Amino acid sequence: MKRLICAVAVLASVSVAGQPAKAAKDPKRSLSVRKALDYLASEQRRQGYWEANGGQYRVAMTALSANAMACEGSTTTRGRYSKNIRLAVDYLLGLARPNGLIGYKNDYHYTYGHGFSMLFLSQVYGEEEDAERRAELKRVLTNAVIFSASAQTTRGGWGYVSAKDGNDFDEGSTCITQVQGLRACRNAGIPVSKKIIERAVKYIQDCTTPEGGVQYSIRGGGPRPPITAAAIACLFNSGEYKSPYAKKLLAFCEKNVWPGNSTRRQSGHWHYTHYYFSQVIYRMGDEKWKKYIGGVGQDIIRKQSASGAWKEGHVGPVYTTAINATILQIDNGYLPIYQR
C-alpha cells in the first residue's frame, strides 16, 4: 500500500507531457479571472466583436478579448468560452482584405488591430482541428504577414497605418505590436522573412537611449518605460534572453517598471506596460514570477469591480479587463506566444 501511495504521489507531480505539474493557483486569482472573462462574454456583440469606449478599436478589442479567453484554455471547439472565441475568429476572418489587412482601411490606427489579430489568430491556428477552417486561417495569416511587410517603413518600423498611407511615419508601440504578431505567426509555421524582423529590431535599437529606455520614435521623445517593456518582451519572444542589448533594456525596466518603482497607473499606460512586462518576468523563472505576480496580481484583483470589469483608463473597461485577465493567466501556459 505504501508503494502504491508513493507511486501515485510521483505521478501527481508530473504532467502528461513529462513536465513538472503546475503549482496550485491562488483561488482569488482564479475567481477574478472567471469574473473578468464572464464580463467579457457578456460584452461581446452578436456579430462577434468587442469595442472600446465610443465604439472604437473593434478589431484590436476583439483580438485582445478573445485572446484572454484562449489563455483560459478554451478553443474554438472546446471549453467554457468556445462559442465566444469562434465568433471572434469568424468576425476577424471576415475583415481580412484582399491586400492582407485584417481590419478597416478607414481606421486611423489599423496596425494595432492588424498586429493583435495576427497574434490571436496564430494561436487559434495551432489548435484548429477542422481542415477547411485551418486552411482559411493559414491563408489569412500568410496574407497578413505580406501586408505587414509592405506596411513597414524605410527605417524598419511601423506607424498607425501603413508606410504608404502614413507618409512613412513610424513609432515604437505599433512597431512592437507588429513584431510580436509576426513572431507569433512564424512560431505557428507561417512564413515570415527574417529580414523583416531584423529591420524591426534594428529600428527598436535605434530608438534606444544610452540608459536603456526605448523612445517613442526614432526621432526622439525620451525613454518610455511602456515601450521598453514591450520591446524586451519581443526580444524574449525571439529567444534573446542574454544578449547585452536585452540585459540593458531589462535593467531599465527593473528600475522603472517593477512594481513599486516609478511607472504609475496615473501614466495612462500601466496596463499596456504590464501586459508586456508580465511576459518578460514569467520567462525569467518561478522565483521572479511569484514575487512579481504576488504584487501586481493582488493590485489588479483589488481594483476589480463587482461586474468583473476594470474601469480604469480612457480606452474603456473591455480593454483593461482583457489586458488584466491576460496578465493573471500568463502562467497558464496554453498559448505558445507566452510560454517559456
Return the SS3 of 60.
helix
Distance of CA 157 to the CA centre of its chain: 19
Instruction: Inform me whether the pLDDT recorded for 264 exceeds 70.
Output: no
pLDDT of residue 5: 35
Residue pair 95/103 in contact by the 8 Å Cβ criterion: yes
Q: In terms of Cα–Cα distance, which of 88, 105, 101, 95 is closest to 47?
A: 88
Residue pair 67/337 in contact by the 8 Å Cβ criterion: no
pLDDT of residue 237: 84
- Phi then psi for residue 222, to 5 deg, are 85, 155
In a domain, 243, yes or no: yes
Total domains in the chain come to 1
Cα separations in angstroms, 197 against 122, 156, 306: 17, 9, 42
Q: Is the pTM of this model over 0.75?
A: yes
In a domain, 129, yes or no: yes
In a domain, 295, yes or no: yes
* CA triple 76-80-81, angle to 5 deg: 50
Q: How confident is the model at residue 219 (pLDDT cuts 50, 70, 90)?
A: confident
CA distance 26 to 2: 31
In a domain, 302, yes or no: yes
In a domain, 9, yes or no: no
In a domain, 20, yes or no: no
259 vs 236 pLDDT, higher one: 236
pLDDT of residue 26: 87
| 300-321 average pLDDT score | 96
pLDDT of residue 261: 66
In a domain, 31, yes or no: no
In a domain, 42, yes or no: no
pLDDT of residue 126: 87
| Grid-cell match 497558464, residue found | 332
For residue 210, the tally of other CB atoms under 10 A from its CB is 7
CA distance 330 to 333: 6
What is the sign of the dihedral through the CA atoms of 166, 168, 172 and 178? positive
* CA triple 58-59-65, angle to 5 deg: 85
Distance of CA 199 to the CA centre of its chain: 21
| 170-182 average pLDDT score | 95
DSSP annotation string for 160-186? SS-TTTTTT--BHHHHHHHHHHHHHHH
Q: In terms of Cα–Cα distance, which of 287, 210, 280 is closest to 23?
A: 287
CATH number at residue 301: 1.50.10.20
Mean pLDDT taken over the chain: 90
pLDDT in tens, 180-200: 999 999 999 999 999 999 999
pLDDT of residue 331: 97
Range of the domain at 316: 48-338
